[in-house]
Each structure stands twice: as C-alpha cells, then as structure tokens.
Amino acid sequence: MTLASNMGDEMKVNLNGRPEDLIQRCDICEYCIFEDILSKEQRKIKVLDLEIPENHLNRITIEQLCGMQYDKVCPMKYVAMRASCDDRTAMQMGVVNIFVWDLGKQQHQKIDFNQALANWTKDQDLGRGITESYAKRYEEIWNRGIRQIKNNSTVKKKQILTADHIYEIVIAKPHTYEQMLTLLDTLIAEHKERDAF
C-alpha cells in the first residue's frame, strides 16, 4: 500500500499480513513505544487523513521517544502527531519505558510496561522522608523544564529537558535530586532575567 505524505514523498506502508488498517512498527524496529502509548483506534490507517490538531505531539518529542534515529518515512510517527496526547504525557510514557529496562536489570527478570507504571505511580518514601512517587517527581521536573519562548507577538511553551535528562533526575538519589531542583530553580530565575531585557 502506498500513501502520499505531506512532504511530497510517497509513504509505503508494508502491512506484512497485519490487519489491513492497523499501522504497526517498522520492520527494522524490535520495539515501538507508540504501540504502547497509542490505542488500536489511534493507529488505524484512516488517521493519516486527519489534520494535525493544534495540540499535538511535537516532532522533537516523537523523535526522543522513538530513539531509533530512523530517518525514513515512518507511518507510526505520522499517526502519533495526530493523536490526542500532549508532550508531557507522551514524554512520561517514554521515561517509564526507560524505567522498564532499569527495573528489569535490578530484579533480573523481564518487567512489562504496566508493572513499571504501577511502580512509577506508587506513593512511597524515595529517601527524602516524604511520601512521593516517581510520577510526582516527574511532574516537578517537567514543570521546571518549561520555558515561555517569545517569537514576535506569539508566546509558546517549550520543554528544554529531554526524556533522558528528566529520567536521570527523577530517579536520582535524594541529595542529588534536591541539588537538581535547586539548579533548575536557578536556571528558571536566570531565564526570566534574560527575558526581561
């Protein structure tokens, strides 16, 4: 099956015996996080005919989550841009995906996404003497990484931290985590000072 992409190239969707209208990962990919994030309905081929909504996953976020640096046309990425999912939620799913691998190494067994997600959202003492979860830490770091970027008369929000940066901070030991909060707060203040000129 061949589809026209919005870049003038032809997009080939190789179905390889898969349900005809369901987009799945590229043949070279052993794993695709978008199969975990997106529902089957969101991955139907007809979704490619939809306009990209105003609030959508940005291409930078999609590439970070993919991590394959696959520079050929990937229908799954085009579908992800049309999904009703924001960058914050999708990035957190990508960060949990990293957590899956770390938990598996720690426990010497295969951990699935849902097991990791349950651990990620579990309220517990992570060493700072307070009840918190990795998900709550993620929210703290995500919010500190957002910048208001002025471009002529428009103001847009931009995340300056990558999924890997956020993950490293969220799972850091208590002392390191506290230092990172202080550093990020300082960077916010300095950004505001520069923006005031």
Q: What is the pLDDT of residues 4-35, one digit of tens each?
A: 444 444 444 544 445 568 888 888 888 888 88
Residue 19, pLDDT score: 55
Residue 140, pLDDT score: 97
One domain, residues 62 and 117: no
Task: Determine contact, residues 170/138, Cβ cutoff 8 Å.
Answer: yes
One domain, residues 66 and 105: no
Sign of CA dihedral 139, 144, 149, 153: positive
Boundary-marking domain end, from 46, 81, 116: 81
One domain, residues 24 and 92: no
Residue 66, pLDDT score: 82
Per the structure, the count of domains in the chain is 2
One domain, residues 147 and 171: yes
One domain, residues 190 and 103: yes
Residue 118, pLDDT score: 94
One domain, residues 69 and 130: no
One domain, residues 117 and 52: no
Number of residues that this document lists for the chain: 197
Mark the ranges of the chain whose per-residue pLDDT is less than 70: 1-20, 69-71, 196-197
pTM for this structure? Answer: 0.76
Return d(Cα 87, Cα 108) in angstroms, integer. 31
The boundaries of the domain holding residue 92 are 87-195
Residue 70, pLDDT score: 66
CA 94 → CA 7, 144, 194, distances in Å?
27, 18, 31
One domain, residues 7 and 91: no
Beta bridge partners of 154: 151
Residue 196, pLDDT score: 59
One domain, residues 77 and 106: no
Boundary-marking domain end, from 55, 81, 107: 81
One domain, residues 55 and 116: no
Task: Determine contact, residues 178/128, Cβ cutoff 8 Å.
Answer: yes
